[in-house]
Structure 1
Amino acid sequence: MNEPERIKKEKDGLDVYEDILRYARTGYHSIHPDDMYRFRWYGLYEQKPKNGHFMLRVKIPGGELTSAQMRTLGEIADRYARGFADITTRQNFQFHWITIEDVPDIFDRLHRAGLTTSGACGDITRNVVGCPVAGIDPAEILDGRPYVLAVTRYFLNNREFSDLPRKYKMSVAGCAVHCAQPEINDVGATAVRRKRLNGEWEYGFHVRVGGGLSSRPHFAQKLNMFVPPEKLVDVIRAITEIFRDFGYRENRKRARLKFLVADWGIERFEQEVRARLDWTPEPAIEWEEPFRAYRDHVGVHPQKQEGMYWVGVAVLSGRIRAEQMLASAALAEEFGQGILRTTNQQNLLIPYVSAGNVDTLVRELERVNLPHIASPFRRAAVACTGNEFCNLAITETKRLIVEIVEHLERTVPLDEPIRINLNGCPNDCGQHHIGDIGLQGCLVNVGGEKVEGYDIALGGRLGRDARFVRPIWRKVPASQVKFALERLLNNYLALRDPEEDFSDFVDRHTDEELASMMRVEFAEGVDDPPPLAPPPAELVEG
């Protein structure tokens, strides 16, 4: 039995709550190492360099929260987290610089606001991701929020599922473009509909299993089931039982659901799911998957509710200041209905804004540097925590993504959205495997010294033609990444065909051709770099 399994078997992670309160009285140095591991079940991780400070993650199911809840989070950021928080790719908020002595008051504030950290980390069901515009999107199939909450409530503090082999991520959404990324979740439920013989629409879900990124990414595979909405929790329960009972606990590197699904095959996995149900799902229906739908919510957009709009703002790198949190909470109350939404692209939006309030709201948001008009780079840039706080990260990320975006805004007149996903290590919290441009942190040998660098990969996407990125250049010094991307993107603008987007352009060119457009050198000691092809005749300089 490996060490994490021993720790979990000796005491359930959910049983550490009272110990956390006790350690808040006795101090950081009194924390037993086993309990330090169990802290994750309540959203607490030691932050780098493990000298008494913690990261604390707060769950936001479906990304929806009230102004009062946002105000509570802003107050926590201001009082305990040195004035900032991070919006994550799972629609959560993360704080840094938390001490164990701070935790009881923070937990009390969160409880009074109707928020929780339970299950935010650890080998348990994590925050359920949803569509940020659920219930307001004119094109949605159904409002997914009730089902996000139903799944959340079923699994929250449910001790039947508090000791899973590994982390477990779910998404539930009713939108047509799959913005909740079902392809890369352990379980992804997406709404579908079919017409009955009487001409009425019948709504349901298709369910995928076994998606995930990290160093060995897998796309989720679809079960052959049409799941009625009222049966969704039951199907996810059965899936989760299988993971709990058959997941590979012996090897942490193969403990995620994706490895079990890959080894069994989707047919055997589905048979086991059906065996755990007391009803018989009908087969999945014919349904066209979205094709390169841009899963973005920045800007001013009309809602399905007549005369109402949502305003989405870009939060570059996901890092948001306490004053921005407090201001957005107040603005949502004044100009909306006291509701805010976070997105898995680390952005923020305010819904239910009447037409007459839109202009005033966007001006007030801009005053606190929350722009609703953002460049193609800024609106979709994603970055993980990086080595500023994360013990696993190799490189710094938050400042670098800002530097890259600001440089490209000055040097590349791009006229289409492009997703830059930056990750400080192979674990892929920044989702570089699915970016148009994916950057993975590494160390680079320059002049005999190790400096931070990045592997540059291209062409990732989700949807009907989903694929992971192709590695193009390895070990580019971090200081040179922005220049490599500048050259690449300006060459794309000069050489693309009239109806071609960036994905098409990447698909049409070889690795060597794309590398020649970036024109950067490999670091010292990199084995077998690909040969550079002769540059295209129209190659852009600079």
Structure 2
Amino acid sequence: MTETVTTTANLNKFEKLKAEKDGLALKEEIEKIAKIGWEAMDETDRDHRLKWLGVFFRPVTPGQFMMRMRIPNGILTSSQMYVLGEVVQRYGDDGSADITTRQNIQLRGIRIEDLVDIFNKFHGVGLTTIQSGMDNVRNITGDPVAGLDAHEWYDTRELVQQIQDLFTNYGEGNPEFTNLPRKFNIAITGGRDNSVHAEINDLAFVPAFQENQERNSVTFGFNVLVGGFFSGKRCEAAIPLNVWVHPDEVVAVCKAIVEIFRDHGFRANRQKARLMWLIDEWGIDRLRREVEQRLGKELLPAAPKDEIDWEKRDHIGIYEQKQPGLYYVGLHIPVGRFCAEDMLEIARLAEVYGSGEIRLTVEQNVIIPNIAESRLQTFLQEPLLDKFAVTPGLLMRSLVSCTGAQFCNFALIETKNRALAMTKDLEKELIFAYPVRIHWTGCPNSCGQPQVADIGLMGTKIRKNGQTVEGVDIYMGGKVGKDAQLGTCVQKGIPCEDLQPVLRELLIQHFGARLREPAIV
């Protein structure tokens, strides 16, 4: 194929606004922005460039902004969670927070006038929102039980932090990487169950051992996957780069691949501005050669197999750590949404019972680690665990949902509230033999990742009885953990008001659910 040449004339509108002014430039204008208010702001700054600072204008809630954090590997301290809870409590108008499918947190109800104060609070506890939106490397995901899991191959925490520091200049902003053609997702897993969904990332590192037959030895490292992504136009699983890297090479390889994407990714058609489109144009061999050229050395070919050999865990419940006498407890946060009081209480529990550490999962849940065995039973009696259970229902425990139309202007349907209500009703109707993963997403952007679910529901608008109503397209066949694969659309255009009986039948026919016996009066 002939490589696409991008000129100023055929740049899309987002490339033009970036060429006019880098989003990171707004960092120096925060005091002015906070003083004049959102209605007096330049519209392009408000709607787009603020996203480089992690601040998102939402037309469905004018005047109430969303803030997206950067929480590498999903790891927080109790001090940081206290600050996040206090921000939602003090500044949020009907504020709430959502745990995302990238081990991150989004705060809602934020006023632009309070940005200076909020950023100062974040800085005081080592939090940042920098480059968390638009055409940047997004939150780096890693194993939620890294350093706790006795069976892990490698503790990913330090590597994830190094990658974050590289692309964000230690949270201060890095103009070298603020103008990518599109967003870029990176994940690194050192465990055995693919807890990061490696296959849906632009760049992923999965554990693998390289054999040296001459020395009769094996060395730990990572096989490299590239090109995974979801969009309204196309969804693809990541493919092997045919490269194995030592842990010491991971950060340099990340830098090289992101630089290649920055310098050569497509900028004319925004729908084709993800890494996989460049791979289509170049071929995987050329991408590998370009990486080696930037590194100044040849890379070893991929190890024959990776070490993802477990089915995926959800980490909900009570588990022994590798540290003798300590446990981590996974709390189920229904569809990842909690309020300020919940956040403050989670911080208190982590401080009182654990080491003050809190972890987030890509399933939108919370882990509190380092609880001594002697404190475990007392911890389990805490009232918050009535709301955020350690033994939720088998359908509820695997429920995932994007933000939905309540707060997101891209969403075509309401998701979180509907998902919760329908799941509760289905659990009343059915008995389940094992957890079933149902993911809701409000639009084809697939933030709720329906393609990796047992049953995925993608929001759409359909016609029923001459009226436009909210509906879903149904996806099935997604598999996580070892042998991960993406599901496909099996049924289109189901009105949401007619969805529950459809789900009931799918659960009975494909997932071993049984109808409950009617109560005897």
**Taking structure 2 as the reference length, what is the TM-score of the superposition?**
0.92
1:54 and 2:71 aligned = no
Distance 1:472 1:224 in 2: 33
Match of 2:45 among 35, 58, 61: 35
Distance 2:344 2:326 in 1: 23
Aligned position for 2:126:
114
Aligned position for 1:171:
187
1:44-75 Cα distance to aligned partner (Å, 9 max, x none) = 11113262221111111000010101111111
Distance 1:222 1:135 in 2: 27
1:415 is matched by which residue type in structure 2?
A
The answer (yes or no) to whether the contact 2:432–2:513 under 8 Å persists in 1 is no
Match of 2:251 among 230, 233, 248: 233
Distance 2:30 2:262 in 1: 26
State which drifts further: 60-69 or 470-479: 470-479
Aligned position for 1:158:
174
Partner SS state of residue 225, structure 1: strand
Aligned position for 1:137:
149
Residue 365 and residue 205 in structure 1: after superposition, are their counterparts in 2 closer, same or farther (change >3 A)? Answer: farther
Distance 1:437 1:206 in 2: 29
Match of 1:5 among 5, 15, 26: 15
1:207 and 2:224 aligned = yes
Match of 1:14 among 17, 24, 27: 24
1:468-487 Cα distance to aligned partner (Å, 9 max, x none) = 22322221111222221112
State which drifts further: 328-337 or 195-204: 195-204
Distance 1:417 1:291 in 2: 20
1:183-241 Cα distance to aligned partner (Å, 9 max, x none) = 11111112223466667652212211111012211111112222111111111111011
1:467 is matched by which residue type in structure 2?
Q
* Uncovered stretches (5+) of structure 1, i.e. residues with no partner: 497-542
Distance 1:226 1:493 in 2: 37
The answer (yes or no) to whether the contact 1:311–1:351 under 8 Å persists in 2 is yes
Does 1 or 2 have the higher relative contact order (CA < 8 Å, sep 6+)? Answer: 2
Aligned position for 1:503:
none
Distance 1:309 1:247 in 2: 45
Distance 1:308 1:335 in 2: 11
1:353 and 2:371 aligned = yes
1:97 and 2:115 aligned = no
Distance 2:383 2:268 in 1: 50
Match of 1:448 among 457, 462, 466: 466
2:494 is matched by which residue type in structure 1?
V
- Aligned ranges 1:423-442 → 2 under 5 Å: 423-442=441-460
Match of 1:381 among 389, 399, 417: 399
Aligned position for 1:69:
80
1:287 and 2:305 aligned = yes
1:72 is matched by which residue type in structure 2?
V
> Offset at 1:161?
1.2
2:261 is matched by which residue type in structure 1?
F
The answer (yes or no) to whether the contact 1:85–1:320 under 8 Å persists in 2 is yes
Distance 2:205 2:154 in 1: 12
> Offset at 1:39?
0.4
1:483-506 Cα distance to aligned partner (Å, 9 max, x none) = 21112212335699xxxxxxxxxx
Distance 1:97 1:128 in 2: 25
1:71 is matched by which residue type in structure 2?
Y
Partner SS state of residue 351, structure 1: strand
Residue 399 and residue 49 in structure 1: after superposition, are their counterparts in 2 closer, same or farther (change >3 A)? Answer: same
1:412-463 Cα distance to aligned partner (Å, 9 max, x none) = 2112121111011111000011111000111122221111111112111235
> Percent identity at matched positions?
40
Partner SS state of residue 226, structure 1: strand
